[in-house]
């Protein structure tokens, strides 16, 4: 039982070298022809993921839920939604994953529950119910006024009126998601029990949803409060006491300086998403200027040695533009979401390929950045084959359509009638499953999928990308983004051309003079580095990864 992992690799810092793969059980593979993906289906496709080279699977919520927020409205924390199978199916999946030396990270959505959760049903019965204090209630809707509203497109207030008990309850997200009251020790204890439950079942770690919003205090914006940190420290301590190696990933859509606090002194989260970096990678490629990326990484504070940034290009949410200036947001909207339907809240609801006009060169460049900048990369399912989206499906469903396995019936996703699928497949002539699917890409040595396998393999050939330091070079040409990663005597030079045209660039590599660059994809030797500026010619959107070796 405890720790069902059987991998020989017991490095507690495994997440630093990991390549994450984010997937929703529902969207991957349907084994029972009901139109909805399930754990058995996911288990069947583990070989595909192993082949791809990813080593950690991050599962989106699969708990019983009314599914009004794609499972982020949990109605039972300790079970599996019947759509996705049973707890037994999940256990088999975990075992199979571990057998392939893959780890599994699940969602811990405890800032709020669904309003269908028995706790809330209890709590709203009367004002003196024992569970009443598990949630946040108020007679007026003007408390915590300084807290911003996150889903600006759908919610007008963070308070919702409960007609049964005649009080307002607090919710930071949708009104059907009442926030749990973390000032109540019973709630914290209950959360610990949930974590313990899953860890014992074999889950390797948690991605903790909506971390900054756990605790509310009057007179603050109710984000990143010290009390929130206390609760996390407490849970981490309990976890470390009970289990050997743990993993907590924070979802905190904040500026790097604020996110830094969630690493504590290495006693809170192991990893946190680097939200502001993501839009800036897109911005830099559009501006053809490295400034946005260098600026944001310069403003990123150092983190404790055991901690890691999680970086990503796209995920199941919109491409969030909360952590950019108004000027930058307008630019992103104009360049990446001219179609207003693509905009949602403060962001853009699109997948990677449509964002870059299905330009293979730009898809590759973006992935080159993702896999070579400091942090552990997270790949969103479907992006490895360049799947498209459907911005007319409402909310963020457009980027959550079924995985496209082949060009046949339901894209090979399900044997059900097409009408039964949980969401319609992408079927347009450009991104449709007849054109973009795993099977056809497996047949070609030059498909995007084949290329993704290769670049992941190259990344995993060294620990320098996950653990190394970064030093930016400053060539006069601002279209070139060049940096050197170093770790334990290994040196890798990465040069990216952010521009759509060819450019010469001269790099000051005198610190590494005498070394010979070896291109990491082809293994070819380049001229030895000397005193003079090192000239490289970059084609449109070209990237080079060089291992620098003393020969």
Partner 1 sequence: MAEDTFLTDDFVRQLTAVGGVDIVVGLPTFNNRATVGRVLNAIQVGLAKYFPRERSVLINPDGGSTDGTPELVRTTTVEHYETLLAASPLRTFQRVSTVYPIGHGSGLAWRTILAAADLLGAKACISLSPDLESITPEWVDALVRPIYKEKFDFVAPIYRRHKFDGLLIKNVLWPLIRATYGSDIREPTATEVGLSGRLASHLAAQDVWRQTDTSQEGLRLWMTTLALVGNYRVCQAFLGPKTLGRNTARHDIVATVRQAVGELLRCLEAHEAFWMNRSGSQPTPVFGFQYGVAVEPVRINRARLLQTFRTGAAELASVLQSILTPTTLQQIQQVAALDDREFRFPDDLWVKTIYEFAASYHHSVINRDHLLQALVPLYQGRVASFVLQHYRAGAEEVEQHLEALSRRFEELKAYLVEGWTAKK
Please report whether residue 499 would count as binding partner 1 according to CB under 8 A.
Answer: yes
* Minimum distance from residue 503 beta carbon to partner 1 (Å): 6
Catalytic residue among 204, 251, 383, 384: 251
Please report whether residue 274 would count as binding partner 1 according to CB under 8 A.
Answer: no
* Minimum distance from residue 366 beta carbon to partner 1 (Å): 18
Please report whether residue 504 would count as binding partner 1 according to CB under 8 A.
Answer: yes
Catalytic residue among 55, 69, 89, 209: 209
In the complex with partner 1, the residue whose CB is nearer, 424 or 530, is: 530
Write out the two tokens for 543: 């990237």
The span of 5-13, 290-298, 348-356, 427-435 binding partner 1 (CB under 8 A) equals 290-298
Please report whether residue 508 would count as binding partner 1 according to CB under 8 A.
Answer: no
* Minimum distance from residue 504 beta carbon to partner 1 (Å): 6
In the complex with partner 1, the residue whose CB is nearer, 112 or 503, is: 503
Please report whether residue 258 would count as binding partner 1 according to CB under 8 A.
Answer: no
Please report whether residue 233 would count as binding partner 1 according to CB under 8 A.
Answer: no
Pairwise CA distance, residues 207 & 111, whole Å: 12
CB 58 within 8 A of CB 431: no
Please report whether residue 291 would count as binding partner 1 according to CB under 8 A.
Answer: yes
* 3-state SS string for 363-424: HHHHHHHHHHCCCEEEEECCCCCCCCCCCCCCCCHHHCCCCCCCCCHHHHCCCCCHHHCCCC
3-state class (DSSP) for residue 21:
strand
Q: Can you tell me which of 24, 112, 270, 290 binds partner 1, judged by CB under 8 A?
A: 290
CB 384 within 8 A of CB 376: no
Q: How far apart are the first and last CA of the chain?
A: 50
In degrees to the nearest 10, what's the CA dihedral of 183, 184, 185, 187?
-110
* Minimum distance from residue 331 beta carbon to partner 1 (Å): 6
Q: Can you tell me which of 479, 507, 517, 545 binds partner 1, judged by CB under 8 A?
A: 479
3-state class (DSSP) for residue 34:
coil
Active site residue 265: no
Please report whether residue 155 would count as binding partner 1 according to CB under 8 A.
Answer: no
Strand order in the sheet with 543-550: 469-472, 480-487, 490-497, 543-550, 515-519
* Minimum distance from residue 500 beta carbon to partner 1 (Å): 10
The number of residues that bind partner 1 (CB under 8 A) is: 24
Residues 6 or more apart whose Cβ sits within 8 Å of residue 26: 36, 37, 38, 60, 62, 83, 84, 400, 422
The span of 64-72, 187-195, 356-364, 503-511 binding partner 1 (CB under 8 A) equals 503-511
Q: Can you tell me which of 23, 271, 283, 509 binds partner 1, judged by CB under 8 A?
A: 283
Active site residue 183: no
Please report whether residue 276 would count as binding partner 1 according to CB under 8 A.
Answer: no
CB atoms within 10 A of CB 450: 14
* Minimum distance from residue 511 beta carbon to partner 1 (Å): 20
The span of 159-167, 249-257, 285-293, 412-420 binding partner 1 (CB under 8 A) equals 285-293
Please report whether residue 531 would count as binding partner 1 according to CB under 8 A.
Answer: no
Please report whether residue 468 would count as binding partner 1 according to CB under 8 A.
Answer: no
Write out the two tokens for 56: 């950690």
Pairwise CA distance, residues 488 & 16, whole Å: 15
Please report whether residue 328 would count as binding partner 1 according to CB under 8 A.
Answer: yes
Please report whether residue 507 would count as binding partner 1 according to CB under 8 A.
Answer: no
Residue 496 per-residue DSSP state: E
Q: Residue 218 burial (CB < 10 Å; 0-12/13-18/19+)?
A: exposed
CB 262 within 8 A of CB 304: no
CB 442 within 8 A of CB 412: no
Please report whether residue 476 would count as binding partner 1 according to CB under 8 A.
Answer: yes
Catalytic site positions:
209, 251
Which residues contact partner 1 (rule: CB under 8 A)? 283, 287-292, 295, 325-328, 331, 475-479, 499, 501, 503-506
């Amino acid at each position: 039982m405890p720790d069902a992992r059987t991998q020989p690799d017991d490095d507690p810092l495994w997440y630093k070298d990991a390549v994450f793969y984010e997937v929703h059980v529902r969207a991957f593979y349907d084994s029972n022809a009901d139109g909805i993906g399930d754990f058995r289906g996911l288990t069947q496709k583990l070989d595909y993921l192993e082949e791809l080279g990813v080593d950690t699977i991050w599962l989106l919520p699969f708990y019983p839920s009314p599914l009004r927020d794609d499972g982020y409205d949990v109605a039972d924390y300790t079970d599996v939604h019947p759509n996705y199978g049973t707890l037994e199916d999940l256990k088999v999946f975990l075992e199979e994953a571990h057998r392939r030396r893959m780890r599994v990270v699940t969602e811990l959505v405890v800032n709020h529950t669904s309003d269908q959760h028995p706790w809330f049903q209890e709590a709203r019965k009367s004002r003196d119910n024992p569970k009443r204090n598990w949630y946040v209630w108020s007679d007026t809707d003007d408390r915590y006024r300084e807290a911003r509203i996150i889903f600006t497109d759908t919610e007008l207030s963070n308070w919702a009126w409960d007609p049964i008990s005649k009080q307002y309850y607090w919710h930071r997200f949708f009104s059907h998601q009442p926030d749990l009251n973390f000032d109540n020790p019973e709630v914290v204890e209950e959360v610990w029990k949930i974590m313990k439950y899953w860890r014992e079942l074999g889950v390797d770690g948690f991605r903790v949803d909506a971390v900054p919003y756990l605790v509310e205090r009057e007179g603050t914006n109710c984000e990143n409060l010290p009390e929130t940190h206390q609760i996390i420290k407490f849970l981490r301590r309990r976890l470390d006491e009970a289990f050997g190696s743990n993993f907590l990933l924070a979802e905190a859509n904040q500026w790097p300086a604020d996110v830094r606090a969630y690493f504590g002194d290495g006693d809170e989260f192991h990893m946190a998403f680097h939200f502001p970096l993501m839009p800036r990678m897109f911005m830099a490629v559009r501006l053809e200027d490295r400034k946005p990326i260098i600026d944001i990484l310069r403003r990123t504070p150092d983190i404790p040695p055991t901690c890691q940034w999680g970086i990503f290009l796209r995920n199941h949410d919109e491409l969030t533009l909360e952590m950019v200036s108004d000027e930058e947001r307008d630019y992103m909207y104009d360049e990446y979401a001219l179609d207003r339907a693509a905009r949602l809240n403060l962001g853009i609801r699109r997948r990677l390929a449509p964002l870059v006009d299905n330009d293979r060169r730009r898809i590759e460049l973006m992935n080159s950045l993702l896999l070579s900048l400091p942090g552990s990369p997270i790949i969103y399912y479907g992006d490895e084959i360049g799947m498209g989206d459907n911005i007319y499906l409402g909310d963020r469903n457009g980027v959550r359509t079924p995985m496209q396995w082949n060009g046949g019936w339901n894209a090979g996703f399900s044997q059900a009638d097409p009408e039964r699928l949980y969401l319609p497949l992408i079927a347009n002539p450009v991104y449709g499953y007849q054109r973009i699917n795993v099977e056809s890409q497996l047949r070609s040595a030059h498909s995007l999928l084949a290329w993704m396998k290769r670049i992941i393999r190259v990344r995993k050939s060294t620990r320098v990308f996950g653990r190394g330091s970064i030093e930016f070079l400053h060539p006069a040409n601002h279209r070139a983004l060049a940096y050197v990663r170093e770790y334990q005597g290994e040196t890798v030079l990465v040069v990216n051309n952010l521009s759509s045209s060819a450019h010469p660039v001269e790099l000051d590599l005198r610190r590494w003079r005498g070394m010979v660059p070896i291109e990491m994809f082809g293994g070819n030797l380049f001229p030895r580095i000397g005193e003079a500026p090192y000239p490289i010619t970059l084609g449109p959107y070209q990237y080079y990864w060089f291992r620098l070796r003393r020969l």
